[in-house]
Amino acid sequence: MERSPPSSAYGQACTHCYKAKCRCVRTRSGETCERCLRLNKRCEPTETVRRRNNHNVHNPQASSVSDRRIARLEDKMENLLSVMQSFIGSARASSSGHASLVTPASTTLNFGEAPVFGTSSTATASPNPEPIYAAHQYLSPPTGQPDAQLDFFRARMLPSFPFLDLGPAMTIGYLRQHRPFLLHTIHTVTTLSNQARLARTEEFKRTLFNSAFSNAESSIDLLLGVLTYLAWSTDPFLGGADLVSRLMVLAISLVYDLRLFKPSSLDAQLMMAITQGRADGNGPDLTETPYALLERQRAVLACFFLSSNISSHLGRQDALRWTPHMADALRVIEITEACPSDRLFVSQIRLQLLKQRADDLRRQDEGGIGTDAAAGSAPGLLYLKTLRRQLHELQSSFSPDLQNMDILNTQAQYVELYINQTGYSISHEPLPPEAGILMGNRTGPLGFQRLECLWRSVENIKSWLDSFYSIPCARLIGQPFHFWSQMILSVTLLKYLSTLKDPDWDCQAVRNTVHLISTMDSVLQRLELSCREPELQCDDHLLKYLSKLISRCRGWAEARLNVVPQTSLDTHGELHHIPDLDQMGWLQSMDLGDDQWFEDALGMPKTFY
């Protein structure tokens, strides 16, 4: 009977076995150990442990407190570096050259470095490769040819919401090999014609269904693809609100499956490391590269951002809960600045977090009316005042040389608009019974707090529009869904503020500050100029539909502000209150491609309001 190879001597275990606290059994050649050979890992001795043990053998008196402290620090540094530094996983070589493979790295990869892409005929397959999804050849050009849609997405769309790091080194070959679903989604959202996008969207849904449901797969590629589709989706404006809400729920479930909202427990990680030689498959990989780590952190933050916006726009689900782990991820991205656009992305997340806190306060306030609600409104108003102060401090911290500063300013003004509208909603004031006014409908004379919130909203809308006008027309083409949602809600709220019937409210002062019809004319002009851009050689793109909406709304406003006498406004549905921004039912049924929707929405004021 052959004897099994002996274990390594004490202190001579390789790096991987030492970290996993596993028995290190050398192969007969002595060049590697059986565990590293089985897991396809490079077997390296633990130099620091060996030196420390040899030092103690020859110098027994050297085991001082300081030496033990140094040893502990070395162990901690090795464990930390195992997360921050690793080899870039090799990929399968392709004889036809269809993919650019990742070459093994022998040097440390810093956070500021992108993965190195190249070809290697001797590269070995990664032990845990990403699932490869079937993609039709028509979705991307053959290898070696430029991808105009990928370039358009990278240059014209991603800078407005940079949650992906797609530097020049991130070639189409690498995406086709490692992020095929993301690449598929990029080609879908960069198809600007609505009719042409339908076919790609159907393929997107089939691939997603087979991967996420039929095969029950959860991968970072799936998550990034879904987030990209949601960020630049046109469905909420074209009768597809149901699809968007379901995709948002799916994205949140993928975040939970991938354990991105919080790390796996230490016990789970140790058990997986001991039994299988790797970390928890549903948690952060202890050997993942810094690039992959930042990719996952950006993904969970983007999911929070999008879920918060979609929750406000459609009102169908809550936003992803903010966790301390997500706060840590935000700090890591802010400190490392591995991607030039990370500063903008971090600022966008911090702004959205303030908006979400205001939304959480409003939800807590719902359910009570009358005296009880009024009694609880004072702490809420103080909290909103704190949020407003934090928002102004955050705005003052923005660097003047920050790219896409106009995009960031529009978001900041919208966040303050949301805070002010939240203050209007929760600042109920009890009225005497003889007033004969039902507080459930929030009618009656405005109090000082509500009056202040509404006038601040007028100023926010004006500032948002000023930032909107400063954006070049060419850049309007690639703006994400939440940008256009902000425009629609700002114009809608301006309509309410321009026609609000209340003895304490001066509608004429609103019109003198931001005139409703003039504003719509200016917005229409910007949209029409953008439609002349060479990329928009079709008549069914999103900007055409948005122009149609603003044009119809302008006709409604002109009929009521210029033609109808001021004394008869009450007969045309003017209300005494303003609804919450996420409780406008017509937004959830919006279909700008259906004329019947316009007739139902604009022909019936109570529906449009």
Tokens 């274990």: give the residue: 7
Q: Say whether 218 sits in a helix, a strand or coil.
A: coil
Same domain assignment for residues 433 and 538: yes
Q: Do 69 and 115 fall into the same domain?
A: no
Asked whether residue 221 falls in the same domain as residue 118, the answer is yes
- What pLDDT, on a 0 to 100 scale, did the predictor assign at position 73? 63
Same structural domain, 251 and 394: no
Taken in order 31, 35, 38, 42, the sign of the CA dihedral is negative
CA atoms within 13 A on the CB side of 552: 20
From 75, 90, 115, give the residue that closes a domain: 75
**360 occurs within a structural domain:** no
Same domain, 385 and 298: no
Total number of domains in the chain: 3
- Asked if residue 537 and residue 460 are part of one domain, the reply reads yes
Residue 343 lies in a domain: no
**Look-up: residue for tokens 């392709």?**
94
Torsion angle, alpha carbons of 562, 563, 566, 567, to 10: 180
> Does 362 fall in a domain?
no
pLDDT, residue 600, reads 75
Q: Is 26 helix (H, G, I), strand (E, B) or coil?
A: strand
Closest CA to 317 of 606, 588, 29, 37: 588
Q: Are residues 266 and 385 in the same domain?
A: no
pLDDT of residue 151: 92
* Domain interval for residue 406: 371-608
Nearest alpha-carbon partner for 468 in 420, 522, 515, 514: 522
Provide the token pair at 366: 């719902």
- Specify whether the CB–CB gap between 403 and 341 falls below 8 A: yes
Q: Is the pTM of this model over 0.75?
A: no
Neighbours of 543 (CB within 10 A): 21
Q: Cα–Cα distance between 24 and 17 in angstroms, integer? A: 6
Q: In this predicted structure, what is the pLDDT of residue 392?
A: 96
Spatial distance between the Cα atoms of 131 and 176, rounded to a whole number of angstroms: 12
Mean pLDDT of each 10-residue bin along the chain, 609 residues long: 54 78 81 82 68 49 57 58 40 35 32 40 35 41 69 94 90 90 96 92 92 88 97 93 93 92 56 47 55 92 96 85 92 90 95 94 64 53 92 92 90 95 76 39 62 94 95 93 94 90 89 94 95 88 93 83 45 57 73 82 49
H helix or E strand, kind and range, residue 225: helix 220-231
Q: Classify residue 302: in a domain, yes or no.
A: yes
Tokens of 426: 């929760």
Token readout for 226 is: 């879904």
Q: Which residues pair with 33 in a beta bridge?
A: 26
Q: Of 320, 336, 352, which residue sits at a domain end?
A: 336
In a domain, 9, yes or no: no
Residues 31 and 165 in one domain: no
Tokens of residue 115, six digits: 């993965």
Whether 451 and 558 map to the same domain: the answer is yes
8-state DSSP, 14: B
Q: What angle do the packed helices 595-603 and 542-558 form, to 10 degrees? A: 30
Q: Scan for tokens 């070995």, then name that residue.
A: 124
Q: Are residues 70 and 112 in the same domain?
A: no
